[in-house]
């Protein structure tokens, strides 16, 4: 029997709807650049507290969401408390441990975690780092309209999933082409073609569906490591 994906995915609030405390921010948002807690604070935080340094770090490296606070933070806090698991000694190790933890979850929870990331081409309600990642280059409005349609197509073809990819400096137009290739459709700037009912849906829990989910989880980890590099570069620039 296929897993019940939608109930988890649709429990994820749109980014920007979280109050400061729910996002794990110790203070209200400001115009200052986001910064990670110190490694000592993060890697010794076994409390599982939603406003603790571990939660704040994870929300910054990934995206704030109910499943991050309710499932990932407690799981990693338990790992920190455990005497049978190696200690986490770096942020790279923290990201790897997080992705390993997520990959062991049921598909519905993995899909919910992936869905916490903004859709490709979204421009409203983004976290500071998502805004930087998605707006690195100016995007023509017709490409944004096309991406919105491609997101709808993807979510029709892969029910319960949201398209996530490691952008890695590419433009939104390049990602548009990638999404079209993934869906097996021609490159275009049409905002409404082809129609969603013209593409066959992939059944949940099949090899193709789960393969796409696994790819998305891996890419979430790549995004987190890119954010870590960006944060490190920002901290070095501030300290220069």
- Domain of residue 166 covers 118-240
Of 74, 104, 134, which residue constitutes the final position of a domain? 104
> Are 95 and 126 part of one and the same domain?
no
Tell me how far apart the alpha carbons of residues 96 and 58 are, in angstroms, rounded to a whole number. Answer: 12
| Residue 24: inside a domain | no
Residue 227: name the closest of 147, 174, 140, 168 by CA: 168
Size of the chain in residues: 240
pLDDT in tens, the chain (240 residues): 444 443 333 333 333 333 333 333 333 444 467 899 999 999 999 999 999 999 999 999 999 999 999 999 999 999 999 999 999 999 999 999 999 999 999 999 999 999 999 999 887 666 676 656 555 457 999 999 999 999 999 999 999 999 999 999 999 999 999 999 999 999 999 999 999 999 999 999 999 999 999 999 999 999 999 999 999 865 545 554
Residue 16: name the closest of 125, 128, 130, 133 by CA: 125
> Are 150 and 210 part of one and the same domain?
yes
CA atoms within 13 A on the CB side of 94: 31
> Are 152 and 207 part of one and the same domain?
yes
pTM to 2 decimal places: 0.82
> Are 141 and 237 part of one and the same domain?
yes
> Are 233 and 168 part of one and the same domain?
yes
């Amino acid at each position: 029997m296929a897993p019940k994906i939608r109930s988890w995915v649709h429990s994820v609030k749109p980014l920007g709807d979280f109050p400061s405390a729910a996002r794990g921010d110790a203070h209200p948002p400001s115009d200052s650049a986001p910064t990670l807690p110190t490694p000592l604070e993060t890697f010794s935080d076994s409390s599982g507290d939603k406003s603790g340094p571990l939660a704040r770090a994870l929300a910054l490296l990934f995206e704030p969401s109910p499943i991050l606070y309710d499932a990932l933070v407690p799981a990693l806090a338990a790992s920190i408390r455990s005497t049978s698991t190696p200690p986490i000694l770096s942020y790279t190790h923290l990201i790897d441990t997080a992705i390993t933890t997520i990959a062991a979850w049921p598909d519905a929870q993995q899909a919910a975690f992936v869905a916490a990331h903004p859709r490709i081409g979204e421009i409203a309600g983004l976290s500071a780092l998502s805004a930087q990642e998605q707006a690195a280059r100016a995007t023509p409005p017709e490409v944004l309209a096309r991406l919105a349609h491609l997101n709808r197509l993807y979510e029709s073809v892969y029910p319960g999933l949201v398209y996530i990819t490691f952008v890695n400096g590419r433009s939104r137009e390049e990602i548009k082409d990638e999404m079209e290739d993934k869906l097996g459709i021609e490159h275009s700037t049409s905002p409404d073609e082809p129609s969603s009912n013209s593409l066959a849906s992939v059944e949940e829990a099949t090899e193709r569906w789960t393969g796409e989910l696994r790819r998305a989880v891996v890419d979430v980890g790549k995004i987190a490591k890119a954010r870590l590099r960006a944060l490190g570069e920002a901290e070095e620039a501030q300290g220069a």
